Each structure stands twice: as C-alpha cells, then as structure tokens.
C-alpha cells in the first residue's frame, strides 16, 4: 500500500501503548510488530500524532500526480476521521488502512459507502453520488477525460445511481450499494477499486 512507502522511514518515536496495540490487534489483521512499524512511520510524519487535511492531501496526491486529488482527498479524509474531530489519529489511520487494503469485499464496500454518504444520513442521494464521481474524474486527470469522452461525470453518476437505486426511491441504502457492487464487477472496480471478489 502506498502509505507504507510514503509515510516516513525517518527515525523512531515512542511505541504504541499496550492498550492501543491490543485494540488494534483485535480490530485489524496486523500483529504487534507490524502495528509498531506503522506507528513509527506515522509518528515520523505526524510528530504530534495527528494527521491533518493538509498533510493527508500531500501524501495522497503523490499517488495521482496528473490529476487534482483535493476533493477526493477531502472525502477520504472525512471517512478516515471516524470521530469527526478534524484530524486522523493513529488508531483511525490503521483501522482505515486495514479495511481498505486487507478487508473483505463487503468490508471495503461498507467503508466506500461511508465515503459516498457525505452527510452521514444512512443513504446516498444523486447529489452525493455526482460529487464523488466528479472528484474521481478530477483526481484521475486528463487520462480519465480521454477514456470517457462521451461520458460526463454527471452522466456516469446518474447511470450508477439508477442501477443502484433498486426500489427507485431516490436513495441508495448501504444494502443496495453493497449488493449492487458485489453483483456488478464494472461498478465494483469504479466505486471501490482493488476490491476483488
């Protein structure tokens, strides 16, 4: 995963507390040694133990040098920041990294749903879907625009939304989102890349 290589290998900080190690071992797929390695990298880049939006953007945008990742980063940051306090601490960081890199398809899709549900009301509306799809297009840069000459982000979002809104109530629930992505490999790759069934 890109964060492991990007997040510093410069010098070490204190170790993760025993309670946090136990919590992370129970809630991720990592062993104590791996947790401590992630922690060293995290603390070398975030000495105060807090990853803010600016630092997150700087790290994340390295993965998409040809595009503008700011809007998409804002969505990813919001989803990582589970307690909504404006920064990502080490536990939030490692929990999110674990799900996005090692989680089951259902776990990854549930995480992705949380990112698409911008207002946190438990469903995705067409406006939320359109905002996220636009931010993906911006992040992918000119190459994505060439690939989809006939397909604007708005048209793509509307098509996705129509396929997912199974009961046509103007809302995509978590269950509809997950079920639809699991049954449509093209949607799965578009909305939750690197998720394999």
Closest CA to 1 of 27, 32, 34: 34
* pLDDT reading at 76 higher than 70: yes
Structure confidence at residue 42 (pLDDT): 92
Q: Bridge partners of 124?
A: 172
Tens digits of residue pLDDT in 144-174: 555 555 578 899 899 989 999 999 999 999 9
Structure confidence at residue 65 (pLDDT): 66
Tens digits of residue pLDDT in 24-48: 999 999 999 999 999 999 998 899 9
Tokens of 41: 């990298």
Residues 126, 158 contacting (CB under 8 angstroms):
yes
The mean pLDDT of 127-152, rounded to a whole number, is: 75
* pLDDT reading at 125 higher than 60: yes
How far is the CA of 159 from the CAs of 77, 139, 170, in angstroms?
26, 20, 13
The DSSP symbol for 67 reads: S
Closest CA to 60 of 76, 40, 84, 49: 76
Bigger pLDDT: 178 vs 144: 178
């Amino acid at each position: 995963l890109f964060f492991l290589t990007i997040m510093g290998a410069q010098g070490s900080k204190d170790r993760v507390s025993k309670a946090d190690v136990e919590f992370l071992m129970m809630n991720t797929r990592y062993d104590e040694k791996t947790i401590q390695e992630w922690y060293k990298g995290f603390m070398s880049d975030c000495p105060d133990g807090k990853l803010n939006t600016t630092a997150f953007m700087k790290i994340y945008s390295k993965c998409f040098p040809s595009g503008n990742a700011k809007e998409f980063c804002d969505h990813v940051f919001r989803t990582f920041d589970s307690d909504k306090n404006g920064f990502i601490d080490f536990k939030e960081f490692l929990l999110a990294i674990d799900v996005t890199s090692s989680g089951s398809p259902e776990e990854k899709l549930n995480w992705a749903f949380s990112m698409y549900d911008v207002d946190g009301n438990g469903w995705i509306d067409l406006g939320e879907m359109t905002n996220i799809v636009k931010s993906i297009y911006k992040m992918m840069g000119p190459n994505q625009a060439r690939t989809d000459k006939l397909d604007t982000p708005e048209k793509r979002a509307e098509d996705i939304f129509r396929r997912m809104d199974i009961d046509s109530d103007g809302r995509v629930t978590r269950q509809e989102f997950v079920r639809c992505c699991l049954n449509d490999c093209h949607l799965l790759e578009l909305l939750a890349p690197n998720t394999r069934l």
